[in-house]
Chains A and B, each alone.
Chain A
Amino acid sequence: MSDQVRITRRGLFRGLGSTTLIAGCRPGAPEQQPPMPPPDDPHARPQAPANAVGPGPAPLQFTLNGRPQTLEVAPHVTLLAALRLQLGATGTKVVCDRGSCGACTVLVDGVPRNSCMMLAHDVGGRSVTTVEGLARGEELSPLQQAFIRHDALQCGYCTPGMLISCQALLQRKGKAVTREDAEQAIAGNLCRCGTYPHIVAAVLDAAGRTG
């Protein structure tokens, strides 16, 4: 296998060494730059700070669709993998697993993010909304209802990511949403069945009804 030219994200993480990685996902300091080796010694490994997690599973707390979650997650696990494989929240889909298709989009503190490009520990203490969290109990959100009315879904596989991207747009712009806004919002979401025209129509419709 060594002669195969192939770099995966997980492989890259492994290559970087777990200390670098773990240091970068200390809870409570998401904006801080990971510690780098001093410039005069490129081979030196940074020391793990006292509050670093890993290498084994470490406790993680965050809010998922309004409910507090407490679980043990290994530091290399993506938010997407934790949602699907550990929490059984399979509404969010894996399509490219490297940030190019938008299928795994979730809201993190209201901001749409590719959950395959975040580590689970990145959302410690934060609030995550997935497609499972858009309805209020049995009542579908205006956006979900508009998707159904306009047939903005075919196989349904891009739908969770599309809904989340569009929901973020509606929360930001409400009634003022234009066609260009809708296209901008889903510019990072790929669909293979060809639902785009109906999605744009659904978003504009939902914007009208949301206000």
Chain B
Amino acid sequence: MEVKSKKEEKKIKKKMTLANLAAGSPAKVVKVAGKTVVSRRLMEMGVVPGVAVTVIKTAPFGDPIQIRVRGYSLAMRKSEAEIIEVSE
């Protein structure tokens, strides 16, 4: 995964989350932050540290996003994807 655009460079300086992961590039979950109903739900749905995830697409109005995890499709809002820390 080479860094291509300025936009992506910026992202790397910041914490990389599922919300700013480019569509199609595979990643691994590092951490699901927060102690909320959302973080709990995400983990129960299989988004736990170490699992492989891919962003498939963004909805027409820019939110929510669709990801693939453990062989199925999961949709979530960007605000929810932000708590999922990932590494490439």
Mutual binders A and B: no
Interface residues of A (CB under 8 A from B): none
